[in-house]
Amino acid sequence: MLYTLGYFVFALLLLITVHEFGHFIVARFCGVKVLRFSFGFGKVLGSWQDKRGTEYALSLIPLGGYVKMLDEAEGPVPENERHLAFNNKSLSARVAIVLAGPLFNFLFAFLAFWLVLVIGIQSLAPMVEAVKPGSIVARAGVTAKDEILSLNGKKVTSWHDFQYALMPLLGTVDPVPMTLKSLTNGQQKTVTLPLAEWKMNEKKPDVLASLGIVPFLPTIPPIVGEVVADSPAALGGLQVGDKMTSVNGKLITDWLILVDFVRQHPNASMVFNIIRQGDAKTLTLTSASVNTKGHEEGLLGVRSQRANWPPHWLRTQREAPLEAIPTALMQTARLTSATFALIGRLITGKISLQTISGPVGIAVGAGESAHNGVAYYLSFLALVSISLGVMNLLPIPMLDGGHLLYYLLETLRRRPLSDEFKSMGVYFGLALLVMLMIIALRNDLTRLT
């Protein structure tokens, strides 16, 4: 739990700081005096000031930040500093300052995707183990032992790629082409997925299951690769290299069998038969309990030995630094476009509001991606950064897009908007954002039960 919370807080603080830094640096460039750059909200715990009069503050609540600029709309400004006030800058300067926050989120996403490509990411090949009868993929002609090569014209090398390519298609009704290769005879074929009937379980969303795909997951040998200090496994005497053969009489032929059994037995005594350096031994361990998604699960504190799977089961995506630049740009542009499209389908009702995730969903995603490795966590940060950038561009008062909407209306009217109108907009924007947060939290809590 603390592990997940830590990665969630880091992700949120990092991405919002990136956003606010965009506003800050462009405001400085445009000659606006920045009064405060705060890391976090609420009570200021500590601060320091630079030569230009900007206060850098560390605040109590580490869930965001803000940039406070000199502005006559927020208080009196000395006559000798009026030229430094935000409201006295040209329309183009104010637009640039407002746009800078979301644009820096997109820039961060590009850099994260670029790093992922340069570091390299190794994933299981998108091989289909089985197809559920009557499902979408079954009607399309997908069969067991097929490998997915592309979806809707986009190359697919892993299940990670497949889900990213599928995300923009949520809520569409048009059939989508998918290219496959048979693992038995090597023949390729192109099928058409009838996505008009595609619906996910909103309480427990699973993209592959919703399509009827059972992915190929190779067997993981039930050999201990790591024992967490002071865990039930360590206290019970388990050691690295121990091979599990049975638990409470149940045969263990795969590490996942062990994981599932332990999860179903929190705070339970378990008798393990193991093989250690060729000798058979019996150990009795008592599992711990951890609250996961609203229910108790068992925990031992062990990890499996790294499996040496055959190369044909794996796909590695890695590019040279220069080659990775256009690929990262393309990934950023595609996901940004897809996010706008998904929001449009939410507004028009083509996608249910129950698909929205809130802070709990983001926290779970942060923890799971971090557990899978640096590259997966960077991909997660890129996706959330794009979502944050797009959300802030929506024409809702209180968001950056709301300010841009005001500037557009002022340009069309050729005079400033009244303070009363702006105040009404703030109340409307606040009410809308609170409503969306309540929906997102409700969805998160529903998925936990």
- Say what the pLDDT of residue 410 is: 83
- DSSP states along 75-138: S---GGGGGGSGGGS-HHHHHHHHHHHHHHHHHHHHHHHHHHHHH-EEEE--BEEEE-TTSHHH
410 token code pair: 């002022």
pLDDT band at 433 (very low <50, low <70, confident <90, very high): confident
Q: Which residue has the tokens 């997925």?
A: 193
Checking if the pLDDT of 200 tops 80, the result is: no
Q: φ, ψ for residue 254 (rounded to 5)? A: -145, 140
Checking if the pLDDT of 328 tops 80, the result is: yes
pLDDT in tens, 281-301: 898 888 888 776 567 888 888
Checking if the pLDDT of 363 tops 60, the result is: no
| Alpha helices in 348-418, H assignment, sequence order | 359-372, 374-392, 400-413
List, in order of start, the domains of the chain with CATH numbers: 122-217 (2.30.42.10), 224-306 (2.30.42.10)
Checking if the pLDDT of 43 tops 80, the result is: yes
Residue 82 or 292, more confident: 82
pLDDT in tens, 125-157: 889 989 999 899 899 999 999 999 999 888 888
The CA distance from 371 to 384, in Å, is: 17
The CA distance from 351 to 366, in Å, is: 24
- Say what the pLDDT of residue 317 is: 82
- DSSP states along 293-330: TTEEEEE--EEEPPP---GGGEEEE---HHHHHHHHHH
For the ranges 22-36, 361-375, 405-419, the lowest mean pLDDT is seen at: 361-375
The CA distance from 218 to 216, in Å, is: 6
- Say what the pLDDT of residue 218 is: 80
Q: What is the mean pLDDT of residues 188-215?
A: 80
- Say what the pLDDT of residue 333 is: 92
Provide, rounded to the nearest whole percent, the portion of the chain with pLDDT above 90.
23
pLDDT in tens, 243-258: 989 989 889 888 888 8
- Say what the pLDDT of residue 370 is: 58
The CA distance from 140 to 187, in Å, is: 17
pLDDT in tens, 272-282: 899 988 889 89
**DSSP-assigned letter for residue 265:** -
Burial category of 403 from C-beta neighbours within 10 Å (exposed 0-12, middle 13-18, buried 19 and up)? buried
Mean pLDDT taken over the chain? 83
Residue 57 or 291, more confident: 57
Closest CA to 392 of 102, 89, 38, 86: 102
Residue 385 or 218, more confident: 385
Find the catalytic residue in 20, 79, 81, 129.
Answer: 20
Annotated catalytic residue 20: yes
Burial category of 95 from C-beta neighbours within 10 Å (exposed 0-12, middle 13-18, buried 19 and up)? middle
Q: Which residue has the tokens 């399309």?
A: 140
* Distance separating the N- and C-terminal Cα atoms of the chain: 17
The model carries a pTM of 0.76
